[in-house]
Amino acid sequence: MNNNEKNKITMLQAIEAVINKNRETINSLPLLAEAVARFIAVIAEILLRNKEYQGVKMGAAAAKNNALDDLIEHVFSVGNAIYAFGKKIGNEQFKSTVILSASGINRMRETDIAQYCSKIADLIKACPADLTADGVLAARIEAFNKALDAYQEQSDAWQVKAAESKAARKALHECFDKADEILNKELDTLIEVVKTVNEDFYNQYKAARTIRDLGGGHAHKDKKAGETANPAPLEIAKAA
């Protein structure tokens, strides 16, 4: 979830808190009470959709990253053995293919790491007997191959989850749109009736209706939806 989305949820929950403190006044105004009920339901849906979105995204990414870390550990070990073997027999292909430091591998992009591991796997397939005879244990080669297979499996699973994540994010933004619709077209108007009945409630609502940038790092101005006759909803980046 980006900062704009976090800020928007903070604003919605602040309004919900004000509503919960002023139930008696709200219940005395049927139109307001009905709009508030739908608004509270949308907030609950937003929190649920956000949980679903974060769960899909974070779970898939964590599994893939763990598999990648394991793969890097194994390819570094096997790669250095291949380099030593290539140096011993004077095979420049073996020597030139291998990256000799773990930091060098870690600085690579993920796609480049995957390609590098595939090259190492191809070298192993070309002469597994010679490598094993030279002291590289078959168990280490097998562990590397399993780590590569596991990473490829998790990478494929992540692609599937990325599509699910995109759908979950779309559903989340549809909920934000519902909340904006109720706020802009109903609550912002109905709250004006409250001003003469419960001025404290009115002022609390107006204060809560402010979207504040909680991300930090730069100076900012508060954005108050009530400052214009037809306030625009918070713009939220709709990245996948």
pLDDT per residue over 77-123, tens digit each? 888 888 888 888 888 887 888 887 888 888 999 999 999 999 899 88
- pLDDT score of 39: 97
Would residue 88 count as lying in a domain? yes
Burial code of 64-74, b = ≥16 C-beta within 10 A, e = fewer?
beebbebbbeb
Confidence of residue 239 (pLDDT cuts 50, 70, 90): very low
Confidence band for 57, pLDDT divided at 50, 70 and 90: low
More confident call, 112 vs 137: 112
The count of domains in the chain is: 1
| CA separation for the pair 41, 96 (Å, rounded) | 62
> Which range marks the domain in which residue 221 is found?
3-227
Q: Does any domain span residue 40?
A: yes
pLDDT-based confidence at residue 134 (cuts at 50, 70, 90) = low
Does residue 124 sit within a domain? yes
Our CA angle for 220, 225, 227, nearest 5°, is 90
Span 65-90, pLDDT tens digits? 999 999 999 999 888 888 888 888 88
Q: Which of 16-30, 85-99, 117-131, 221-235 has the highest mean pLDDT?
A: 16-30
Q: Cα–Cα distance between 21 and 16 in angstroms, integer?
A: 9
Residue 131 has pLDDT above 80, yes or no: no
**33 inside domain:** yes
